[in-house]
Amino acid sequence: MKKIIILTLVSAFVFIACNQSGQQKQPEVNKRDIVLSNIHSRKSVRNFVEGKTIPKEDLETLLKAGMAAPSAVNLQPWHFVVIDNRADLDSLSTKLPYAKMLTKASAAIIVCGDSAIKAGDMAFWEFDCSLVSANILLAAEAMGLGAVWTAVHPDPSRIEFVKQHLQLPDNIIPLNVIPIGYPTGEDKSKDKFKAERIHYNKW
């Protein structure tokens, strides 16, 4: 009887003790560190694992992240063309010298701006669509996908080729083509911090 009481007390003591240490061991979810490390680990991914399909829900998650971007006077002057078939990915690559990796990408998002939408006499679609693209690139990194901004605008011949290929209305300008896929791991992020680029209060 006495032995059972001692056993029970010891067990209880050990249980409480190691449960508290267990709580201390639990990692704290740190939004700040996770978001900052995602920003720093994002890289331009140009090498993709071939033959893998990105679920449509994941492509829509990227577009939802894109549409969460700020825009001048909240005009949201953006449209998206998603390329999710091999033939169009390959044919787009033929006349886009910096988008050859489309032939290995699983999909692509073309971020387009509506040049007819203006705030007063100023158009902000180039900035707004750049912010949209930043969200897409950062979301892709967080989702284990790889992506890279390949420029279309302001190159007239690339704009014309993409507009014709996608049958875009005159006022819709393709800013970039963002090939998306599963990274092979060859592409690495760069440390681009330069203290000399920072000025305080005056140049």
Sign of CA dihedral 54, 165, 117, 148: positive
- Per residue, the 3-state secondary structure of 115-136, as one string, reads CCCCECCECCHHHHHHHHHHHH
* Residue of 22, 55, 57, 170 interacting with a copy of itself (CB under 8 A): 22
| Spatial separation of the C-alpha atoms in residues 42 and 138, rounded to whole Å | 6
Residues 138-177 that bind a copy of itself (CB under 8 A): 138-139, 141-144, 148-149, 151, 154-155, 166-169, 172, 175
Which of 46, 48, 78, 125 lies at the binding interface for a copy of itself (CB under 8 A)?
78
89-118 residues in contact with a copy of itself (CB under 8 A) are none
How far apart are alpha carbons 68 and 82 in whole angstroms? 17
Closest to a copy of itself by CB, 104 vs 153, is 153
Centroid of chain to Cα 183: 13
Tell which one of 29, 55, 57, 188 touches a copy of itself (CB under 8 A): 29
Binding piece for a copy of itself, criterion CB under 8 A, among 46-54, 55-63, 179-187: 55-63
Q: Is 188 in the site for a copy of itself (CB under 8 A)?
A: no
Q: According to the binding rule CB under 8 A, does residue 79 interact with a copy of itself?
A: yes
What is the nearest approach in angstroms of a copy of itself to the Cβ of residue 100? 16
| DSSP assigned state of 201 | S
Interface with a copy of itself (CB under 8 A), residue from 52, 106, 125, 130: 130
Secondary structure element (H or E) that encloses residue 48, with its range: none
Say which residue the tokens 């690495």 belong to.
188
